[in-house]
Amino acid sequence: MKTNASIVYFLTRSLFLGFGISLILHQSGKDAYFGASLGILIGLIITYFYNDIISNKKEKSLKSLYKNHKLIGKIAQILMFLASYILLIYTLILYCVFVISFLLINSPVLYVIIPFLIIGFYLAFKSLKIISRVASILMPISIIFSIIVFLGLGGFFEITNFLPILTNTPSSFFKTALSFAGISAFPNILTLHFHDDTKYNMKIYILAAISIVLCTIAINGVLGQALTSIFRFPEYMVLKQLQAFKFIEKVENIFSNIWIFDLFITAVMAIYSIKETIPTKNNKLVTVLILVVTVYFINKIFVFNYVNELKVYYILPYLSLFLAIIIIFPFKYLIKK
């Protein structure tokens, strides 16, 4: 793919691991895919405005855009930094909790997070072109794995897990729709750094969002509402039903890499956005200091602290939707100036 649209695929999916999917399943249960489908439409509207900003700023960088108005430019710069940093924190928390809980059990947090950040830092300080190239390589793998998983789980579906349908209140569906829109659109704030054609961005957003909806269907179909409400990472637990040739064990660890891809590309883009938002002079050193503080912050406050993780879980839909929408206004103003 010649554009950066492949990055959109991973950004759209990234916050659903552990937090997002569990949240919408908690809100609407077995009918979550109805609210999620409405959420795609709302997310498309937000993505449309992002694309409009990218198209109108053309080849201008965000740094040059900030100079169009001193006050509004500073507000836009601060909002972009906050959004990027929050996304980095979210992705690192999800990555650490997921990997330590299932893949590298009882491993020290620093052993898990430091190699992840070193590679992400190296890639972020290359260029968008390099990041896009990596995303373009990982995207087909993620899609193929997702198709294999969905088809493989088809034989374990229980139709009774979907019945009766539409038993939730309209407010539950609407809450799910807003949560889905915010969680899927919020990371795409980082696409504002793009310079190229945006014609594929909305198509890729739809593709990624549909993959999440299919994931909720698979989880409900296999586990049912009762088990789904118990498991912390239902998207991982459902993979335990899969087998490969009856002699390859732990295939769930192979297929769960599609979630790692999402987190990695989003973390790289968040680091890229942070270094593009801070002053050019010594931006590499400042970015390193920010990452060191972030690792300490996550290690001390969030990892292995279930209470704090729950706080992030419940804040996620409101914060993501608010930032996804509010950041549009200062950038639209700067483009008009």
Dihedrals φ, ψ of 248, to 5°? Answer: -95, 115
Which pLDDT does position 247 carry in this prediction? 56
- Distance CA(41)–CA(290), nearest Å, equals 35
- In the chain, where the domains are located: 5-336
- Distance CA(57)–CA(204), nearest Å, equals 21
Which pLDDT does position 290 carry in this prediction? 92
> What would the two tokens of residue 191 be?
């696409």
Which pLDDT does position 1 carry in this prediction? 47
- Distance CA(280)–CA(3), nearest Å, equals 26
For residue 82, with 0-12 CB atoms within 10 Å meaning exposed, 13-18 middle and 19 or more buried, which class applies?
A: middle
Question: How big is the CA angle at 276 (ends 273 and 281), to the nearest 5 degrees?
Answer: 145
Residue 69, CA atoms < 13 Å, CB-side half-sphere: 13
Fold classified for 5-336: Amino acid/polyamine transporter I (1.20.1740)
Low-confidence ranges of the chain (pLDDT < 50): 1
Residue type, 2: K
pTM: 0.92
Q: Which residue is it, tokens 């100079």?
A: 67
* DSSP per-residue string spanning 320-337: HHHHHHHTHHHHHHHHH-
- Distance CA(171)–CA(185), nearest Å, equals 21
The enclosing H or E element of 300 equals helix 283-301
Residue type, 98: F
- Distance CA(55)–CA(318), nearest Å, equals 28
Task: Bin 318: left if φ > 0, else alpha if -120 < ψ < 50, else beta.
Answer: alpha
For residue 240, with 0-12 CB atoms within 10 Å meaning exposed, 13-18 middle and 19 or more buried, which class applies?
A: exposed
Which pLDDT does position 127 carry in this prediction? 85
The answer to whether the beta carbons of residues 14 and 265 sit under 8 Å apart is yes
Which pLDDT does position 246 carry in this prediction? 59
The answer to whether the beta carbons of residues 219 and 25 sit under 8 Å apart is yes
Q: For 176, which DSSP code? A: H
Which pLDDT does position 42 carry in this prediction? 94
Of 81, 68, 116, 71, the closest CA to residue 192 belongs to 81
* DSSP per-residue string spanning 249-298: --HHHHHTHHHHHHHHHHHHHHHHHHHHHS-STTHHHHHHHHHHHHHHHH
